[in-house]
Amino acid sequence: MKKLILLLSISAILISMSSCNGEEKKDDSNSSQSVANSTEISQNEGSTELSGNQSSTQLPNVDLDKVNTEINKKRKNDDFEFMKKLSLDLLNTYYDGIKKVDFDKCFSKYADFYKERLEKDMEKEKISSSDYMKDIQNYYKENFGEDFDILLTIDSILQLTDESLKNTNEIINSTFDKSIKLEDAYTINVIERVQGKLDMQKIELEWFLIKIDGEFYLYDGAYEQ
């Protein structure tokens, strides 16, 4: 059961690793800092992409006439650079908490409803926050070495459409038995480069940003069925 709880905090990593072929992608030495400056918008099912790359519309096997890509003008956001900085600030706080074995810092950028659920599960399993964080850190140390480092690149940011925002809101409220009102939500596609003396691996991750009462928080779907 302890391992199941541990999966909640590294689920995005494990899920992404299972979907990758395990081969390291070749890149230049500046890859961890390279994000293009374009804010071109392209349509995707259930979201609008604030992409750092000049990309064409990609909706394979989807009837465009049946896809609702509307975003309310009041929340429509084309500012890729702002969202990139915001995403990196939140994610860097999370990873810094892992490195420092600091539960409060690690999950300070998650919404209260998520932290409360996690803390209840930890209490039920009699796992201290310190032991919990050590387990997460040990995952990196055992796989990459004591000197592991994590570099992040924001690949793309996708703002959820009105319909997808509503569906996501319903899923979260159902999962956590809450009455939360999501003001906005984004899918953040991140390239995580972990390196140490034992190994180096580049992993493609999918994180989520949700906006509640004017504040942005990290979110993952580890609790969702």
Q: Which tens digits make up the pLDDT trace of 110-151?
A: 999 999 999 999 999 999 999 999 999 999 999 999 999 999
Evaluate whether 98 touches 141 at the Cβ level (below 8 Å): no
Q: Which of 4-8, 35-39, 135-139, 212-216 has maximum average pLDDT?
A: 212-216
In this model, does residue 1 exceed pLDDT 70? Answer: no
Q: Which of 49-58, 97-106, 126-135, 168-177 has the lowest mean pLDDT?
A: 49-58
Evaluate whether 91 touches 105 at the Cβ level (below 8 Å): no
- Of residues 155 and 16, which shows the higher confidence score? 155
Look up residue 154 and give its two tokens. Answer: 């924001």
List the one residue out of 46, 93, 87, 84 whose CA is nearest residue 67: 46
Tens of pLDDT along 35-91?
222 233 333 444 445 544 333 233 344 444 444 678 888 899 989 999 999 999 999
Percent share of the chain, pLDDT over 90? 62
pLDDT of residue 222: 87
pLDDT of residue 3: 37
pLDDT of residue 69: 74
- Residue 161 phi/psi, 5-degree rounding, is -70, 170
Q: E-strand spans in the chain? A: 41-44, 47-51, 149-160, 184-195, 200-212, 215-219
List the one residue out of 68, 36, 71 whose CA is nearest residue 54: 36
- Write down the H helix ranges in 20-144: 80-99, 103-106, 112-124, 129-144
The mean predicted confidence, pLDDT, of the chain is 77
- Concatenate the DSSP letters of all residues of 107-135 into one string: TTTB-HHHHHHHHHHHHHTT--HHHHHHH
Evaluate whether 132 touches 106 at the Cβ level (below 8 Å): no
DSSP character at residue 32: G
pLDDT of residue 224: 82
In this model, does residue 164 exceed pLDDT 80? Answer: yes
pLDDT of residue 172: 95
